[in-house]
Amino acid sequence: MRLNAATAALLTTSTLLWAGNAVVGRAVVGLVSPITLNFIRWCLAFCILLPLAPWVLRRDSGLWPLWRRYALLGLLGVGSYNALQYLALRTSTPVNVTLVASTMPLWMLALGRLFFGMRVTRMQMVGVGLSMAGVLVVLARGRWQQLAQLHLVPGDLYMVLATLFWAWYSWLLPARPGEPARLRANWAALLLGQVVFGLGWSSLFAGAEWAAGDAFIHPSWPLAAALLFVALGPAVLAYRCWGLGVQHAGPAVAGFFSNLTPVFAAILSALFLGEAPQPYHGLAFALIVAGIWVAARR
């Protein structure tokens, strides 16, 4: 597995779309509850994907004998990750959530070493250090004293769990022996197979949210636009790009690209607030790209 320009573009596109997801998710906090938001998002994604690969639902598609694998992928990538992220944004600050999510490369390497027989190299550890330094530059906004003001709250624990789930999902994503080539060769089919089971999990979690009396939704045109974006971009397109990128570069290298998300999120937030990007954004971007390059070297 090697990292080339095309694969880097795929992984970068995913992180850019997920940064937009964080900004939009924060914007609709008062319009829809987090677990319900995740459920509606994937219902819309299902409707988008179904016309592209309807044969996946047939008995002879090859999906159903692998139901355990796809149920786990659906739980981790569809039912849990973004639901936990949206939930974290209710009780934690965006800065803290970004800080927790920036530990993704560490979890990717740790899971790879413990459960998937991966050998962690010195260059990968250097890459982790460089990428983490870039994220800290963004979090500190160029002023290191600001990091001392960070305080972890219960919501940060949701993001720790979400980050672990996503690292596990990424390691499980590459093809396994016996998996039908027809299913792997069609990106819409592969994602739809995960969404089929993921909707079961997300509906269960959304039902629990409503049963607990914590759910709400306030229909409006801004909410409709936000739902359309998170379904088309961060759900369908980003997952498509991430899946291809993980297959080509491997889960460990792909994990480093997740640290681009806070940089993009800071830039997008600045644009929405009418503020120009700051010089420290450029420094952070350079450090994160350097970390990716170092970690990908053989």
pLDDT digits (tens, 9 = 90+) for 66-118: 999 999 999 999 999 989 988 887 877 666 676 677 777 778 888 888 887 77
Going by C-alpha positions, the residue among 230, 208, 202 that lies closest to residue 44 is 230
- In angstroms, rounded to a whole number, what is the distance separating the alpha carbons of residues 266 and 115? 34
pLDDT tens readout for residues 145-159: 766 766 666 777 888
CB count, 10 Å around CB of 270? Answer: 14
pTM summary value: 0.82
Give residues with Cβ within 8 angstroms of 28, minimum separation 6: 37, 222, 223, 226
Going by C-alpha positions, the residue among 180, 294, 193, 298 that lies closest to residue 243 is 193
- Per-residue pLDDT of the chain (298 residues), as tens digits, is 667 888 889 999 998 998 888 888 888 888 999 999 999 999 999 999 999 999 999 998 889 999 999 999 999 999 999 899 888 878 776 666 766 777 777 788 888 888 877 777 778 788 778 877 777 776 676 677 766 766 666 777 888 889 889 889 988 888 787 888 888 888 899 899 999 999 999 999 999 999 999 999 999 999 999 999 999 999 899 988 988 888 888 877 777 787 787 778 778 877 775 656 667 777 777 787 777 777 666 5
- Cα angle vertex 48, ends 45, 50, to 5°? 105
> How many helices (H) and strands (E) would you count in the chain?
15, 0
pLDDT at residue 243, rounded to an integer: 82
The answer to whether the CB of 170 falls within 8 A of the CB of 251 is: yes
Largest Cα span, the chain? 60
Per the structure block, which two tokens stand in for 131? 């990428």
Torsion of CA 5, 10, 14, 16, to 10 degrees: 40
